[in-house]
Amino acid sequence: MSDALLSVRDLTVTFDVPRPGAWPWTAPRKLHAVNGINFDLAPGECLGLVGESGSGKSTAARAVIGLAPISSGKVMFDGQDLGALSPVQRRKYGREIQMVFQDPLAALNPRMTVGDIIAEPLITHEPSLPRKEVRTRVQEMMEMVGLLPNLVNRYPHEFSGGQCQRIGIARALILRPRLLICDEPVSALDVSVQAQVVNLLKRLQKDLGLSMIFIAHDLSVVKHISDRISVMYLGRLMEQAGAKQLVQNPAHPYTQALISAVPIPDPEREKSRKIMMIQGELPSPLAPPSGCVFRTRCPFARPACAGDRPEYHVVGGDHVVACPWYNQLENSTLTAV
């Protein structure tokens, strides 16, 4: 995508894992957390990353923002290769890319007041800004995320989980970044609070013109906020398409199983539908299966799936799937969320 704000190409993130009981000079094993993924993000677009725990979603996001080392591949932001920058040069882009973390309370310093927490990025990147201006912008940001400005001198433990997540969002947006990465921002919240936070993020994205990467397990939540969705499994992208297209016409067996697992808020339809279950456990990223990494749990796996890594096939438009048998799979029993 030529006009993409963020372009990720062949991104690979590996970690060295010592062999238990081995000599210190023994070569460590390689853990492939992210294994050659590609995606683009246009200005003002929201890309949803979904997949079960251990699929590499959060590691990919941390590699984009610089919190995880990039083993190979490129992360291009506004035409600049972020991996080629020094730490000093990278700081310039620190205000352009911000992150909201999964655990709202753990992400906040318990010894700092809410006002100081939100103001910290502003003071770091704009140290010459007058204190009165800093306080004004902090109060404006608190109002924008639904917090009362008179709570500015309170501490994180005095707030609920949903309020702490709003504080984290305010802190991330105080610098008015162009890209916001949300790493499972609602997984630790109650269902009713989840809806409030998702709607808040959707409104802020529209009002501030943000580009956003939204990571979650729940496809129904991701569909609500995302323009496009990428499905990850064991460090690789299985399928990518527009949100509506992917949910209504999933092509990969893994995507079909994820959608099948979403409950329907209709007792009669819920009882009558057939659920596609994923058998077995997620393989270890230290020893991923050959060929298609999903083949050991796929109900449609064939001997050929153990061969070469499957290429991406175009289903239609920007809908791509890493399965050569996608047009031969039965999908009639699945129900869209």
Domain segments of the chain: what residues?
Answer: 43-58+177-328
Q: What is the largest CA-CA distance in the chain?
A: 68
Name the residue with higher pLDDT: 54 or 334.
Answer: 54
User: What average pLDDT does range 306-316 have in this prediction?
Assistant: 90
pLDDT in tens, 184-238: 998 878 888 988 999 999 999 999 999 999 999 888 889 889 999 999 999 999 9
Alpha-carbon gap, residue 296 to 306, rounded angstroms: 9
Residue 279: per-residue pLDDT: 79
Residue 153: per-residue pLDDT: 94
* Backbone φ, ψ for residue 261 (5° rounding): -80, -10
Percent of the chain with pLDDT over 90: 61
> Taking 50 as the threshold, does the pLDDT of residue 334 lie above it?
no
Angle, alpha carbons 329-331-332 (nearest 5°): 135
Residue 184: per-residue pLDDT: 92
Banded model confidence at residue 1, pLDDT cuts 50, 70, 90:
low
Banded model confidence at residue 329, pLDDT cuts 50, 70, 90:
low
* Backbone φ, ψ for residue 10 (5° rounding): 50, 40
> Taking 60 as the threshold, does the pLDDT of residue 115 lie above it?
yes
User: What average pLDDT does range 148-173 have in this prediction?
Assistant: 94
CB 324 within 8 A of CB 305: no
Residue 87: per-residue pLDDT: 81
pLDDT in tens, 61-108: 999 998 899 999 999 999 899 988 888 888 888 889 999 998 888 889
pLDDT in tens, 20-53: 877 788 888 999 999 999 999 999 999 999 998 8
User: What average pLDDT does range 233-252 have in this prediction?
Assistant: 93
Choose the weakest-confidence range: 130-139, 175-184, 208-217, 252-261: 252-261
Residue 2: per-residue pLDDT: 61
> Taking 70 as the threshold, does the pLDDT of residue 162 lie above it?
yes
The pTM for the full model equals: 0.90
Name the residue with higher pLDDT: 275 or 227.
Answer: 227
Residue 270: per-residue pLDDT: 66
Residue 330: per-residue pLDDT: 53
Average pLDDT, the chain: 89
> Taking 70 as the threshold, does the pLDDT of residue 262 lie above it?
yes
What CATH number was assigned to the domain covering residues 43-58+177-328? 3.40.50.300
3-state secondary structure the chain: CCCCCEEEEEEEEEEEECCCCCCCCCCCEEEEEEEEEEEEECCCCEEEEECCCCCCHHHHHHHHHCCCCCCEEEEEECCEEHHHCCHHHHHHHHCCEEEECCCCCCCCCCCCCHHHHHHHHHHHHCCCCCHHHHHHHHHHHHHHCCCCHHHCCCCHHHCCHHHHHHHHHHHHHCCCCCEEEEECCCCCCCHHHHHHHHHHHHHHHHHHCCEEEEEECCHHHHHHHCCEEEEEECCEEEEEEEHHHHHHCCCCHHHHHHHHCCCCCCHHHHHHCCCCCCCCCCCCCCCCCCCCCCCCCCCCCCHHHHCCCCCCEEEECCEEECCCCHHHCCCCCCCCC
| β partners of residue 81 | 76
Alpha-carbon gap, residue 181 to 172, rounded angstroms: 9
